[in-house]
Structure 1
Amino acid sequence: MVIAAPEPKTEFQQPLIGEQRVVIRGISWEAYLQILNALPQSRGSRLTYDDGVLEITMPLEDHEFYGRLIECFIRTLVELLGMRMKTMGSTTMNYPHLKKSAEPDNDYYIQNQPLVKGRNVDFSQDPPPDLVVEVDITHTDIQKNQFYASIGVPEFWRFNGKVWRIYQLQEGVYVEVEVSPTFPQVPKDGLYRFLEQAKNDEIEAVQSLRSGFFS
């Protein structure tokens, strides 16, 4: 068990600029699909479509740094806890009946991993990922909480470069909670300490997480 400690205060010399964004309004679902299909599968930009609003996000260094480290944190926890996981990365999640589509930073099947293991996910039939992670350092025009709640994602993490927020879906809306439903053994400050240590040495941060988790 990780021993809880006071939440560290992170100070920055200058405001973080984690993403560049372009927003296009008045785009139909059919037009969005044409844009999506015209783009190469291997690309740096990520698309989010919410009933007529298309947001194109180009992640910058701070965004990628935190996104990759949060994934490393989750992977390590899954391994330490003896869980199973199917990683979806930024796979396009299309929900045409809702006119919504997302390419989140990270998303995972953990509780429902047995339902989707060994094959491609069909979002028209399979449940949504159990956990979605978004790094939003700069302003986004998409109401992400409402967006992922409407899709039915049980747990949603948001990180703005300073604050980690955990949301649990309860009766169709997100409620902010202090402990992850997927990882109740991990105190809220666990990710903060991991990220702070990883700024200097990512490998050492993972080793510290492994060695201290059950102490």
Structure 2
Amino acid sequence: MLLALDRISVLPGQTLVLRDVDWDEFEALLEELGEHRSSRIAYYGQQLEIMAPLPEHEIDKELVGDLVKALLEELDIEFSPLGSTTFKNKFLGLGLEPDSCFYIQNEAKVRGLKRWDTTIDPPPDLALEVDLTSRTHLDIYAQLGVPEVWRFKRRQLEIHCLEQGEYRQREVSSIFPDFDLREIIPAYLQRIDQEGRNKTIKAFRIWVKSHIDAKN
């Protein structure tokens, strides 16, 4: 039997790897870890990774999520933010927790759901990863069928779109094709550092509205 997790400490910025973890053990460990925690998990090939994020990782994760929400709201697009919800597939032997994720195109299909079954329900349309520790598992996302993954490395945005089962890095998001988000989001993250969150989010909303008006 695996070592009890209450005897293990994972320091911020570090990853604990447990090998030869079968599905039942994985489920038991998830139960032991609980839902209210800052750590993230990835499970594949009977290997479980438990990652403890750094404080700056959590800050950027929240700020990027706020910008995405503001963009969707100004575009009047219904969405469902699921944060770091655990997505798992017993048939594939996979499990993953993104830093943040959103149902957008498929929002209506999961509206009101409290539990997700990836063998039946669609995956989130967009997953966000703030990659300070090189922990993004694009291969797992691909097998789960997540259409788009945004990966932030040193506050630079990479947009990965799923095409024929593999991710291709693209200049423009397939969800927001009219916005140069690779330039805009890092710029507004930097602006938050200088001017504060609320002021910057308001300015971002104004910019989005002006961009929409210019397109119409």
Q: TM-score, normalised by structure 2?
A: 0.86
After superposition, residues 20-35 of structure 1 pair within 5 angstroms as: 20-35=14-29
After superposition, residues 41-190 of structure 1 pair within 5 angstroms as: 41-120=35-114, 121-140=116-135, 144-187=137-180, 188-190=182-184
More helix by share: 2
Gap runs ≥5 in structure 1: 1-17
Cα-Cα RMSD: 1.6
Gap runs ≥5 in structure 2: 1-11, 211-216
- Which structure would you say has the larger RCO, counting Cα contacts within 8 Å and 6 or more residues apart? 1
% identical equivalent positions: 34
Q: What residue is the counterpart of 2:213 in the other structure?
A: none
Distance (whole Å) between structure 2 residues aligned to residue 82 and residue 163 of structure 1: 26
After TM superposition, which residue ranges in structure 1, 4 or more long, deviate above 3 angstroms?
none
Q: TM-score, normalised by structure 1?
A: 0.86
Q: Deviations over 1:105-161 (max 9, x none)?
A: 111110001111122233231110101111111133xx6111101111000111123
* Residues 90 and 107 in structure 1, CA contact (< 8 A), matched pair in contact too: yes
Counterpart residue identity of residue 23, structure 2 = W
Count of residues in correspondence between the two structures = 197
Most deviating of 131-140 and 147-156: 131-140
Counterpart residue identity of residue 134, structure 1 = E
* Residues 19 and 59 in structure 1, CA contact (< 8 A), matched pair in contact too: yes
* Residues 41 and 96 in structure 2, CA contact (< 8 A), matched pair in contact too: yes
Q: Give, in angstroms, the shift of residue 196 of structure 1.
A: 0.4
Is 1:214–2:209 an aligned residue pair? yes
